Amino acid sequence: MKKVYGSAAEALDGLLTDDMLIAAGGFGLCGIPELLLGAIKDSGVKGLTFASNNAGVDDFGIGILLQTKQVKKMISSYVGENAEFMRQYLAGELEVEFNPQGTLAERMRAGGCGIPGFYTKTGVGTQIAEGKEHKDFDGQTYIMERGIVADLAIVKAWKADAAGNLVFRKTARNFNPPAAMCGKVCVVEVEEIVPTGSLEPDSIHLPGVYVHRIIQGEHEKRIEQRTTRKKESA
C-alpha cells in the first residue's frame, strides 16, 4: 500500500469532513504538524474538534484554524500562549474540555490500544471529576476517563521509512505517538524519509502499522518563549 504522498493537501485528500474529531501531536511549538494544519485550513472544513495538548500560538499551529473560526471545540491541557484561544473561550465562542496532560496522553494511548476507558486518581475532588463515574480501589477513589478514538490523527516526526515506521526527536515524542495511535487514519509529516530497512529496529518509536500516509517537507523552527541575556563584557 502506498504511504508516501507528494504534499499535505494530497495526503489529506478524501479524509477531511466538517465536524470531525482530529488528534494533533505537538507540545508547545515543538513537533507541531504545521504543514498538515495549513492544508486543513486551506480546505475550508469547519466545526472541527481537536484533541491536542495546546493550540499553538495565535499565528502558528492550531491557532491558524482558530483565527478562521474552523474549530468549535478543543480537548486540551494548556491554553496560556494563545490569546485568541482565550478570547474565544471567554466569549463563549469556543467549547473547551480541559484535561490534565497525563490524562489526555493516556486517553489517546488507550484509544489506540482498544481500551474504551480507564480509572485514574488525577482530578478526583476537582471540576475535572464532575459528571464522571467514581470507583474505589484499595481504599482510594478514582474517576473513569474515556479513551479517545479520533477520525483523523495528524502528527510530526523526525524520520520515517516508506513503511511508516517513525522516529521522533526529543520533546516531539511527548504527544505525537499517542496522537498517532488513536486516529482511525494517521497522516504524518516528517523531515526526512529514509529507505525501508535503514532504521535501527530498537530506535523506532512508533511502528508503521499505525501510519497510513506520509509527507516530507520543510519545517519552521520556532521558539515559543525566547529568553536571552546580555553578553557579558570582557
Q: Which phi-psi region, left, alpha or beta, contains residue 225 (left: φ > 0; alpha: ψ -120 to 50)? A: beta
| pLDDT for res 212 | 98
Q: Cell 502558528 sits at which residue?
A: 60
**Which range (27-31, 98-102, 196-200) has the least confidence?**
27-31
Q: 27 φ, ψ to 5°?
A: -140, 110
Q: How far apart are CA 14 and CA 199, in angstroms?
A: 30
Q: Are 8 and 37 in contact (CB under 8 A)?
A: no
pLDDT level of residue 140 (50, 70, 90 thresholds): very high
Q: Which phi-psi region, left, alpha or beta, contains residue 138 (left: φ > 0; alpha: ψ -120 to 50)? A: left
User: H or E stretch including 10?
Assistant: helix 8-12
Q: How far apart are CA 124 and CA 140, in angstroms?
A: 10
Q: How far apart are CA 110 and CA 139, in angstroms?
A: 25
- Say whether pLDDT at 175 is over 70: yes
pTM of the full predicted structure?
Answer: 0.92
Q: What b/e readout covers 193-216, taking b as 16+ CB neighbours within 10 angstroms?
A: eeeeeebeeeebbbebebbbbbbb
Q: How far apart are CA 55 and CA 61, in angstroms?
A: 6
| pLDDT for res 69 | 96
Q: What is the pLDDT of residues 52-93, one digit of tens each?
A: 998 888 889 999 999 999 999 999 998 777 889 989 999 999
Q: What is the DSSP code (8-state) at residue 118?
A: E
pLDDT level of residue 234 (50, 70, 90 thresholds): low
Q: How far apart are CA 40 and CA 71, in angstroms?
A: 11
Q: How far apart are CA 141 and CA 110, in angstroms?
A: 20
